[in-house]
Structure 1
């Protein structure tokens, strides 16, 4: 209710003034002249709007005095209120605030989403890939140079991500992940500390510019810390040493072409009758095409090309490789709903 009033307070104030004037007029005529409520209402309206109609009934001296008082006190106020309402509608402010109000309501109902802090070079790419993955996400950016139009209908909050209130408005308490890609390591550290305090179960991925910052960000609560320059340099070097391997890996990563997808499937996403079966049993029931190429145990150990006799247990994950249609068929077959 507070947000509703904040967005439409100008309209509420204007309507409140109009209703107050009408209420005072009705009470005055009923009390001074003894008229009915309907007659008092009609007389009040033709008086404050100065339309010049005849009086409803012959008035006493006290009635005339009250009418003069009502005209003097309400003329400017009523004109201002009508002007404010008209301007609010004609100028388009109503549409603007209504969109803001709808956005705020949708943010309040948002859950299981990813928050991207910063819409620079790194944040832009992260948002682009999340959109391709069809993941729910929103962007926080404080730069006045970035507007909602620049994000192509992406959910957007203009503000400072280092402020707790902005993170709360972005739904950090119900989010599943947060990517902080701010240009300064100190700001990223601040975001990580605040987000971890607000949501202990949040998966936090942070950008870093130096090796010394990586350790601090991990201590602050970041699950993963990425140095874009280092990753980019290592990738370019790998293209020199193993060009075909790197191109193949780039193809597996969901980029624009998406000829092949590598997807992780959590133990919790599997149907109950398959949660403790072996990898061989799972693959035997699947349509051919998808391959389980990796396994992560509950202890965090990774196994490449896992043995088919490994049992899928709580806290574990499977890594499945296939093209988009094969992955979709695999998920549909086992009733797996990928996180949105």
Structure 2
């Protein structure tokens, strides 16, 4: 396997991360899950993913998941100290992969970054900010909660610029553009550096996802 996605931890965070990525186009057969629990791996394989039972802080376990050939690594462990060890080991095996790690506490995010994570998502901090927002601005809290739920309502997607959009400003597109990805830079939609859209740009947009229709009853 090559250029696949390795997910460490198949709890609530790991499951949600995989399902969101697959909903955005990632193929299930390109996902390898690592978890120390045999039941968790049985659940992962039942959903169509590859599975490895073991301690992901060990390099031999990561090699079984072919981390050295992976394109993306998602680390969703229950403990921040475990996440740091996994990031260090994974980065040593694969200097090029995109590593995204979850941190329970915001104070541990810098350590995960120093260990080799490209992005760190703080679960406790994000939940706290959402609760504070919901108290002071209920409508804004509802919208943010909607954005974080997969399957219906509002969603954030990244897509290429179309030929029809090339040469226009972000405000002239049909979608609500949040940012423009140009090369290795992420520019806000109103950043003067954006100017007009280029065919090589990618757009991060907010779109409405239609609710899934129930299956028609068989006659």
TM-score (norm 1): 0.51
- Pairwise CA RMSD: 3.2
The whole-number CA distance in structure 2 between the counterparts of 1:196 and 1:156 is 20
Equivalent position of 2:177 in the other structure: 292
The whole-number CA distance in structure 2 between the counterparts of 1:262 and 1:251 is 10
The whole-number CA distance in structure 2 between the counterparts of 1:119 and 1:251 is 23
Equivalent position of 1:312 in the other structure: 198
Equivalent position of 1:202 in the other structure: 97
Is 1:112 the counterpart of 2:3? The answer is yes
SS of 1:187 mapped into structure 2: helix
Equivalent position of 1:133 in the other structure: 24
After TM superposition, list the pairs within 5 Å mapping 1:1-340 onto structure 2: 108=1, 111-136=2-27, 137-149=31-43, 151-253=46-148, 255-257=150-152, 259-265=153-159, 277-280=166-169, 289-298=174-183, 300-305=185-190, 309-312=195-198, 317-324=202-209
Structure 1: give runs of 5+ residues left out of the alignment: 1-107, 326-340
The whole-number CA distance in structure 2 between the counterparts of 1:253 and 1:149 is 23
The whole-number CA distance in structure 1 between the counterparts of 2:67 and 2:96 is 10
What whole-Å deviation, never above 9, does each CA across 1:159-189 have from its counterpart, x for those lacking one? 2211223222223233222111122222211
Q: Could you say if the C-alpha distance between residues 214 and 113 of structure 1 is closer, same or farther in structure 2, counting changes exceeding 3 Å?
A: same
Q: Could you say if the C-alpha distance between residues 112 and 323 of structure 1 is closer, same or farther in structure 2, counting changes exceeding 3 Å?
A: farther
Q: Could you say if the C-alpha distance between residues 195 and 303 of structure 1 is closer, same or farther in structure 2, counting changes exceeding 3 Å?
A: same
Total equivalences in the alignment: 204
The structure showing larger relative contact order (alpha-carbon pairs under 8 Å, at least 6 residues apart) is 2
Return the offset for 1:126. Answer: 2.1
What whole-Å deviation, never above 9, does each CA across 1:177-203 have from its counterpart, x for those lacking one? 211112222221121112222222211
Larger Rg: 1
Greater share of helix: 1
SS of 2:133 mapped into structure 1: helix
Compare 166-175 and 302-311 and name the one that shifted more.
302-311
TM-score (norm 2): 0.75
Q: Could you say if the C-alpha distance between residues 278 and 239 of structure 1 is closer, same or farther in structure 2, counting changes exceeding 3 Å?
A: same
